Homo-oligomer: A and B are copies of this chain.
Amino acid sequence: MAEHESHQSNDSPLLETVSLFQGLAPAERQEVYQAAHHRAVEKGELFFVQGEEAHTLYVLTQGRVRLNQLSPEGEQVLLRVIVPGQLFGGVAVLSGTAYPAAAEAVVPSEALGWDGETMARLMERYPAIARNALRLLAERIQELQERYRELATERVERRVASAVLRLARQTGRKVEGGILIDFPLSREDLAAMTGTTLYTVSRILKRWEKEGLVEAGRQRLLIRSPHGLVALAEDLPPALEAPS
């Protein structure tokens, strides 16, 4: 594992696949890489806490990170899961605000970090980075609008199915018997992500187990029938709406 909090001098093929740096020549990526700060954190540690003034924009290079937001009501809302190659902390740095959520490593994780001024200088020098950042933020807005629409207009079972499929696309791993959400996911997380109660999520998961769609353990979700979940997310057949 790389050392904590050090500047790296050798190039990394990592940045090649990071959308933020798409379109840069290898020598340009090398410059971007050398301006980065390398940080490794242990499982359960935080890259930053909620409310801290945003200083660093990170790209995850290894591991898995949860962005957790504590609501005024004291509920932990899972905002996003970050997988390698993705940006986090960037929105707060770019808008000059505090981090709106905490970034917790759920497995040992590593990231490259740039402070706001360094990133502004790199963007001025390489307009492709600014263009990529704009595209990434625009895509995030579209995803948020989509999730908001789901939450405002769709029934809860469809929302839970959509949330599970979204996580599967991001962190799913093909295993014997189906697709495993490769990420500790609690029923509380699913409830917070879909604006419903723990009781409702438990009831829905129980029904899905009976129907052979999923196997739900503690913090573990195996999708046995992705097609079945897609059918639910797209259009709920009336037969499934009967109270269980």
Residues of A within 8 A of B (CB): 69, 71, 73, 75, 77, 79, 90-92, 94-97, 100, 120, 123-124, 127, 130-131, 133-135, 137-142, 144-145, 147-149, 151-154, 192-195
A140's closest neighbor in chain B, by CB?
Answer: B141
Whether B138 contacts A91 by the Cβ 8 Å rule is yes
Partner of A91, one of B69, B141, B154, B195: B141
Q: What separation, in Å, do the CA atoms of A95 and B131 have in the docked complex?
A: 10
Whether B94 contacts A151 by the Cβ 8 Å rule is no
Whether A152 contacts B94 by the Cβ 8 Å rule is no
Whether A151 contacts B195 by the Cβ 8 Å rule is yes
Whether A149 contacts B71 by the Cβ 8 Å rule is yes
A195-B127 in contact given A134-B94, A138-B94, A142-B100 (Cβ < 8 Å): no
- Which residues on the B side are within 8 Å of A90 (C-beta)? 138
- Which residues on the B side are within 8 Å of A77 (C-beta)? 149, 152-153
Q: What separation, in Å, do the CA atoms of A69 and B146 have in the docked complex?
A: 10
Q: What separation, in Å, do the CA atoms of A102 and B95 have in the docked complex?
A: 27
A234's closest neighbor in chain B, by CB?
Answer: B72
Partner of A153, one of B73, B94, B97: B73
- Which residues on the B side are within 8 Å of A130 (C-beta)? 123, 127, 130-131, 134
**14 residue pairs from A and B, CB less than 8 Å apart:** A69-B145, A73-B154, A77-B149, A91-B142, A94-B134, A94-B135, A94-B138, A95-B135, A133-B134, A137-B138, A144-B148, A148-B151, A151-B151, A152-B194
- Which residues on the B side are within 8 Å of A91 (C-beta)? 138, 141-142
Q: What separation, in Å, do the CA atoms of A152 and B140 have in the docked complex?
A: 18
- Which residues on the B side are within 8 Å of A149 (C-beta)? 69, 71, 77
CB distance from A161 to the nearest CB of B (A): 14
Partner of A152, one of B124, B145, B151: B151
- Which residues on the B side are within 8 Å of A127 (C-beta)? 123-124, 127, 130
Q: What separation, in Å, do the CA atoms of A139 and B138 have in the docked complex?
A: 12
Report, nearest first, the 8 A-B pairs whose CB atoms are least far apart.
Answer: A152-B195, A95-B138, A130-B130, A137-B137, A94-B138, A144-B144, A124-B127, A91-B138
- Which residues on the B side are within 8 Å of A131 (C-beta)? 120, 123, 130
- Which residues on the B side are within 8 Å of A145 (C-beta)? 69, 79, 100, 144
CB distance from A76 to the nearest CB of B (A): 10
